[in-house]
Structure 1
Amino acid sequence: MIRKPLAGLFAALILGGAWATRLSAQPAPTTGTATAAPSAADKESAAMAKAPDTPLNEEPENAPRARRPDPGKVLETAADGRGGATSFTIDMPLDEPGLIEMRKPFIGRPEFRGAWVTRMDWIVKTEGKVDAKGTREKIVTIMENARKVGLNAVLFQVRGDATTLYPSTMEPWSQRFNGTDPGFDPVKFAIGEAHKRGLEFHAYFNPVPCSEERTTTPAHKDHVFYKHCMPDSVPNWLVYQDGKPAPFNEYKWLNPNLPEVQTYIRTVVLDFVKRYDIDGIHYDRIRFPSHKVSDDPWSKARFEAGTNPDKLTYNQWQGDNITRMLTDIYGAIMEIKPKVKTTAAVWGIYDNTKLPQGRDKRIGYTWTSSGLQNYMQDSIGWVNRGCMDALVPMIYWSMGDLKPDFDELLLTFVAGIKNGRHVYGGQSVFSTTEMLREVVAANRIGAQGTVPFTLGRIARPEMMEYYRKNIYPEPAAVPDMPWKTKPKTGAVLVTVKDSSGKPVVDAHVRVSGRKDVALSSADGFCATLGVEPGAAKIEVEKAGVGKAETEAKVSVGKATRIAVTLK
């Protein structure tokens, strides 16, 4: 087994910055064991590779790697050769013919059949210049491959680091397009090509990363970095560590603790949703880069100033800021396009304290990192709160002899969701048989689908043929989301201002006496979801500013907007 320091460096040099991040922070294989998929967001080219220098590298030196089954074989599990690590999968066969038979009853049933397409996958350059014709042809090929594989959805990246892959008045063009307009709208084109083939188009955003230029400054002078992340910026919008802005892995990161950042991200997302005929918005890297951030003075001051109604610890409060931001975005989307679905690629281990304990990799997960503890990412909490329609946990490990186990982790997400919303298992691309095995496991556990990383990897001829023959031999509809197609509740959107007409930040907003308290953002906006239809009482208060009470008429499936002035 490759020891941790050597493995991390080797992964960084061979696989690129983002791959190295996931290999170090969320244990996964290096070359020579298994080739794990990176984050859904950010596979970087080898030329851009950087060795990780992040505090995330905290697993022991002998942390195990994910396993790749030998082609055509299925590894036995830690459960003495039984088929899986859960009560739903323990009786799964270990041979390919047996798995094919077990898949058959699920074929043709509604299931989410997606795949990620990153921004590194679809832009074509010739001698450093963007090839518009070649890019269009590449997009057509991608969508045609998705159809041939048997998918019904694509998660197609449109924004990576506060720059866009579509025309925007808010942010500059990505350096993937050399910072210039390619002469056509590639995202509009991609949406059209997806819909021609009956594919749902989920626009995939990195909301929180600020800049890929982690050791330099962004190339484009209109970048948000120059407006709010300079040494004299007050507040500085970057995540801090040890009292100063800090890059992590391949990014500088925006700080979701700040209402200004929350409002900015919401405004960018809404601008996109308004303008494009999308089926869903899909987030990645919707978290903090480490549990050791952010110690900036503005976050600290806000934490101590009445913005913590639930009496959370500092790191819990930081995670709660992401949840509140997502709630506000969900409510705002509900107002303009209520059928648009919201999904997120999330850390593959939600809470390792609720998994089998032990540092023995055959038994427990004590050695692992997890989204809730290490990255303040309360993904299951988002779903149960109603601000997320589906999670795509990035479970980039196979079902095999050592922890982590794909099926065991997927079950923790399915079991943790209490309101019937969806989970799609995010997969690395292993052998053909292992891909089948994981799809069958997802079926039996009760997940509503799977999403491999990436489309390009399952569109290789031998993999595509296997998918069409054994995994997706018949078409299937995307599963219904009854809370969207047949909703029973609505939402209340409140904008709070003071007597002079200025937005009030961090006003406490209660709807119909509910225990949960919304906090108004930098523009005075906040959302409350899951409100029963009928008359709703709205109570708003900000110490030192004033109070107000009003009512709103809530309609099923709609967002009701009201303005409140504190006096």
Structure 2
Amino acid sequence: MKGFLTLLLALVVVLTGAINVYAANEVIIDNPYAELVGSWTTGTMTTTKYGADYYYCFISTTNGNSATYRPNIPQTASDWEVYIWFPSGTNRPTQAQHIIHAANGDNIVYVNQQANGGYWYKIGGPYTMNAGTDNYVRITNYGSETTKVVMADGVRFYSAGGGPDTTPPVISSVSANPGSTGATITWITDEPSTSQVEYGETTSYGYATPEDTSLVTNHSVTLSGLSPSTLYHFRVKSKDASNNLAVSGDYTFTTTSATASEFRAVWVNTWNIGFQSASEIDTMIAMTSGANYNVVIPEVRRRGDAHYTSSPLYCPVCNAYHREPKASSVTPQSFDPLAYGVEKAHAAGMQIHPWIVTYRIWGSGAGTPPPDHVWYWHGAGTANDWSMRDSSGGYSDGGNYNLDPGVPAVQDYICKVVLDIVSHYDVDGFNWDYIRYPGTSWGYNPITMQRFYDEYGYWPPTSSSSPNWGTWCDYRRQQVTDLVKKCYLEIMAIKPWINHNVDTVGWMGANPNTNYTGTAQYSSVFQDARKWMQDHIIDTNILMNYKREADSAQAADYDLWTTWLANMQSSTGRHSVDGQACYLNSISNSIHQMQVARNAGIGLCNYDYASTNNESRPRQEFFDAVKANLYQTPVPVPDMPWKSNPTTGIIFGTVTDASKPNDPIYLNWVYKATVTVSGPVTRSTQTDATGTYG
């Protein structure tokens, strides 16, 4: 930055302590030096803030609150420009009022805070500003968008005058978050700067991370390949845009003891290699167990087919048996990949958690299904149509066909598929994928629509502007939750030790830590993983946190969701796992993301075995790097004490009505019956669409 060299200005800085003066041509005011009127809340969660925190409050029509940023302008000039910094978001106003007071009086500017956040955004200028403290920017909460919150974070005043920048950044808030074999180092600079860490077991350091040349004020660098229970020294280094270098003092941290247990998993998708034949399974198990992974999650049901030997499943609707055929990619067709995979995984000391794609059942390019297939009997246009439809009546989801979650018989059928696998194979866990809607425009099967009408007295709306849209979204979300709960109860009844885990989406958008119900997970595809963990109907939440570390916005979002997972794990007592997308990243960036998850104390699952990097490097290189930097020694999968040493039990059953065996929707299942159990405590619950309670 450009230095302002007069003794008078330096004295002002010392006396007021209210501003950071970088140069004769630049003044930045950050919180907490704003002059606040009214009630403002201090926020710290978002990664796009300037400095350590920011202020926010709800918009009001009474113009009661304001935050004033008043600089000490070092010299009178006519070219002062004004910039603001704020964290953007969907709950921000599009017309946030900013009053810029300069020599010409008040200049009112309205800013769209749903965009343009996370950097210095110019809102006005050039203005004539006189030297001294008569100039300011005042952010108010005045406006008509009363459901939105206005942000007040930092203000920058800039004039083109002044000499060359010779002042280095100011480093503050240095901290370390160590794990057993890595650590995350964070710090703040008072201007955008690069990031680098020197570290080692002495003050001579000896190691340094590559310099991250991104100019940021909130810095985070992850170290990997460290030794457990070891004291490390480190210092941080940052350069500003003018190449002025700042170096911190020496800091230390001690890595934790070697990990006693850890969830180290990899998905194996069966549209690719890895689980089609005995030789592929042998290679996959050898490669993953050799890198000290302890869980393999193979896809055993892609689209109403089977990488196992399926059983005929009775359908009470049509009084027939449905069976899902062996996947055509299995070689030879007599081979049972799941049975062989269980044998080989257990021999290598690994767990195996078969993965199914939940509602997807057939596809446009798959030809005619076999005559005993569920889509043959209940596909689009059949007498008992279970197909998921969009609001226009279409049923092709990108060429895939899905069963509708709101059809009671669909919930019954899918649960039978799950129990067929769990009861016939010695699996250690069960993994759900695509247990969600494709989007908000789906779920309009006639049976589901009739159920909704019978319950609420009006048909499901097709527009999000409808006043009944929220009810319709809640209804669909409950259908997914009901299936998760029903199958958890059914599995507990036959194999209570099994790890019941679910793949959930972690798409970019709302911050889950501050606005969970605004996330796509909750509001677009109707997965309520927060409730599932809180209600203990899943054992492990595997979040598909698929982000490119090379993209700064995606990298920041990866960290946000990882923080949410860690918080959910600690608050609910159920396990969280980061589903890391190695296929989107270089090997080194995957190692970085995996270390972030480890430092947060949660498990890991890579997607996927067939595609381990975006560099066209052999998959063995990826697994070698994981072993060298992360999984250096074998560890067991974390215990589930609520299952291995339970202190409570589960009561579950089914309510039926023998007088109504042929109801066209519910058969003899009783929906929304209240079941109350009394004892030391009294609990009540309602049955789902298949009469199940628990």
TM-score by length of 2: 0.56
1:226-305 to 2 correspondence within 5 Å?
226-234=376-384, 236-305=385-454
Code of the residue aligned with 2:599 in structure 1: it is R
Question: In 1, distance between residues paired with 2:579 and 2:638?
Answer: 17
Code of the residue aligned with 1:169 in structure 2: it is S
Bigger mean CA deviation after superposition, 240-249 or 327-336: 240-249
- Tell me the percent identity: 24
Question: In 1, distance between residues paired with 2:212 and 2:490?
Answer: 46
Q: Larger helix proportion, structure 1 or 2?
A: 1
1:396 pairs with 2:546: yes
Question: In 2, distance between residues paired with 1:237 and 1:355?
Answer: 37
1:173 pairs with 2:325: yes
> Structure 1 residues 516 and 162, CA, compared in 2 at 3 Å: closer, same or farther?
farther
The equivalent position to 2:346 in structure 1, one of 170, 191, 195, is 195
> Structure 1 residues 76 and 157, CA, compared in 2 at 3 Å: closer, same or farther?
farther
Code of the residue aligned with 2:263 in structure 1: it is F
The equivalent position to 1:141 in structure 2, one of 248, 258, 283, is 283
1:348 pairs with 2:502: no
The equivalent position to 2:579 in structure 1, one of 426, 429, 432, is 426
SS at the partner of 1:467? helix
Question: In 2, distance between residues paired with 1:350 and 1:279?
Answer: 32
Q: Do 1:108 and 1:475's aligned partners in 2 also have CA atoms closer than 8 Å?
A: no
Tell me the equivalent position of 2:177.
none
Question: In 2, distance between residues paired with 1:229 and 1:105?
Answer: 55
1:208 pairs with 2:359: yes
The equivalent position to 1:452 in structure 2, one of 588, 606, 614, is 606
Tell me the equivalent position of 1:551.
none
1:506 pairs with 2:661: no
Tell me the equivalent position of 2:370.
220
The equivalent position to 1:333 in structure 2, one of 479, 484, 491, is 491
1:314 pairs with 2:472: yes
Q: Larger strand proportion, structure 1 or 2?
A: 2
Code of the residue aligned with 2:291 in structure 1: it is V
Tell me the equivalent position of 1:377.
527
Code of the residue aligned with 2:638 in structure 1: it is P
Tell me the equivalent position of 1:80.
217
1:234-277 deviation line (CA, Å, top 9, x unaligned): 3x211111342411124211111111100000011011110000
Tell me the equivalent position of 2:196.
none
Q: Do 2:656 and 2:669's aligned partners in 1 also have CA atoms closer than 8 Å?
A: yes
The alpha-carbon deviation at position 230 of structure 1 amounts to: 3.7
Q: Do 2:578 and 2:604's aligned partners in 1 also have CA atoms closer than 8 Å?
A: yes
1:466-545 to 2 correspondence within 5 Å?
466-500=625-659, 502=661, 503-512=668-677, 517-522=685-690, 524=691, 526-528=692-694
Tell me the equivalent position of 1:405.
557
SS at the partner of 2:353? strand
The alpha-carbon deviation at position 215 of structure 1 amounts to: 5.8
> Structure 1 residues 416 and 106, CA, compared in 2 at 3 Å: closer, same or farther?
same
The alpha-carbon deviation at position 472 of structure 1 amounts to: 0.8
Question: In 2, distance between residues paired with 1:93 and 1:117?
Answer: 41
Tell me the equivalent position of 1:38.
none
The alpha-carbon deviation at position 499 of structure 1 amounts to: 4.2
The alpha-carbon deviation at position 307 of structure 1 amounts to: 8.5
The alpha-carbon deviation at position 105 of structure 1 amounts to: 3.2
SS at the partner of 1:423? strand
Question: In 2, distance between residues paired with 1:486 and 1:328?
Answer: 22
The alpha-carbon deviation at position 461 of structure 1 amounts to: 2.8
Which structure carries more relative contact order (alpha carbon 8 Å, separation 6+)? 1
The alpha-carbon deviation at position 122 of structure 1 amounts to: 3.7
Gaps of 5+ in 2: 1-113, 117-208, 223-232, 238-251, 313-322, 458-468, 613-617, 662-667
1:442-463 deviation line (CA, Å, top 9, x unaligned): 122232x111111234472322
Question: In 1, distance between residues paired with 2:650 and 2:304?
Answer: 29
SS at the partner of 1:321? helix
Question: In 1, distance between residues paired with 2:254 and 2:578?
Answer: 16
> Structure 1 residues 506 and 356, CA, compared in 2 at 3 Å: closer, same or farther?
closer
1:379-434 deviation line (CA, Å, top 9, x unaligned): 22112111110011111114552245212111123323532101110111123332
The alpha-carbon deviation at position 173 of structure 1 amounts to: 2.0
Question: In 2, distance between residues paired with 1:397 and 1:94?
Answer: 26
SS at the partner of 2:655? strand
> Structure 1 residues 73 and 378, CA, compared in 2 at 3 Å: closer, same or farther?
farther
Q: Do 2:307 and 2:327's aligned partners in 1 also have CA atoms closer than 8 Å?
A: no
Tell me the equivalent position of 1:119.
270
Q: Do 2:370 and 2:376's aligned partners in 1 also have CA atoms closer than 8 Å?
A: no
Question: In 2, distance between residues paired with 1:284 and 1:378?
Answer: 14
TM-score by length of 1: 0.68
Tell me the equivalent position of 2:169.
none
Q: Do 1:166 and 1:173's aligned partners in 2 also have CA atoms closer than 8 Å?
A: no
Code of the residue aligned with 1:517 in structure 2: it is T
Question: In 2, distance between residues paired with 1:336 and 1:142?
Answer: 30
1:296-349 deviation line (CA, Å, top 9, x unaligned): 3321221233489xx971111111111111111111111100001111111014
Please identify the structure whose Cα radius of gyration is greater: 2
The equivalent position to 2:598 in structure 1, one of 424, 440, 443, is 443
Question: In 1, distance between residues paired with 2:456 and 2:347?
Answer: 47
> Structure 1 residues 486 and 501, CA, compared in 2 at 3 Å: closer, same or farther?
farther
**CA RMSD, Structure 1 to Structure 2 (Å):** 3.6
Tell me the number of residue pairs that the alignment of Structure 1 and Structure 2 aligns.
427
Gaps of 5+ in 1: 1-59, 63-71, 86-90, 96-100, 125-131, 358-364, 529-567
Question: In 2, distance between residues paired with 1:481 and 1:93?
Answer: 39
SS at the partner of 1:323? helix
> Structure 1 residues 351 and 489, CA, compared in 2 at 3 Å: closer, same or farther?
farther
> Structure 1 residues 169 and 75, CA, compared in 2 at 3 Å: closer, same or farther?
farther
